A = this chain, B = another copy of it.
């Protein structure tokens, strides 16, 4: 909807730019974390951990900009959705960057221990999560509700791969208890990637709401069964 007040559009644009920049940083943090894991590059991992502050200051900018637009412009309807959505999306992206930084932090430990085989599957899982982050940022910036919603199926795929990896790591630890320490870190990194998929899906749902004005009502069917591993899942 075009506005009479032109500077208003500039402010909304600035908000969107803030999100785009945050998203780009988070995406690059995650891509670098995967490289650091794969190539056992502690120097790179250290850089990722230090650049987390940049994402935080980006989020602070989005928050301030949001409060400013709300206070000065009192937006309604579409614009109010955009502004409130930006605030929430910024929070989700901040968590994605945080989880990537934690994966980098754990890779520093892994580099001091002998390599373990499930690392290959872990990096594959991370690449699936990274593809979701890329996709949802494109959907958000392209105001594409359909494309955003399609992310939910990919999150299901990510959950399936995560559950399989969880079993793989568990088996590996049992077969060779000397791998317990590195494998534990692998499990937590895997969980980080699974959570990144959830946050990307949250951004997708917020994008859908922003574009269509309708909340996604159909409950997401959460099929991450890893919480049940080691026993039969309950039937209800």
A interface list, Cβ under 8 A from B = 42, 46, 60, 66-67, 70-71, 74-77, 80-81, 84, 87-88, 91, 102, 105-106, 108-109, 112-113, 170, 173-174, 177, 180-182, 184-185, 187-188, 191, 215, 227-232, 234, 236
Contacts and interface: CB of A to CB of B under 8 A. Distances in A.
- Complex A-B, nearest 8 residue pairs according to Cβ-Cβ distance, in ascending order: A74-B74, A181-B230, A112-B231, A109-B231, A177-B177, A105-B227, A71-B76, A109-B230
Contacts of A170: 180-181, 184
Given A70-B84, A182-B230, A184-B187, 8 more contacts: A70-B80, A74-B74, A102-B227, A106-B227, A109-B227, A173-B177, A173-B180, A188-B191
B80 A230 contact: no
For the residues of A in contact with B, the DSSP-based class is helix
Contact of A46 (B108, B181, B182, B234): B234
A230 B191 contact: no
Question: How many chain copies does the complex carry?
Answer: 2
A109 B228 contact: yes
Nearest to A174: B180
Contacts of A228: 105, 108-109
B181 A180 contact: no
A232 B112 contact: yes
Contacts of A184: 170, 184, 187, 230
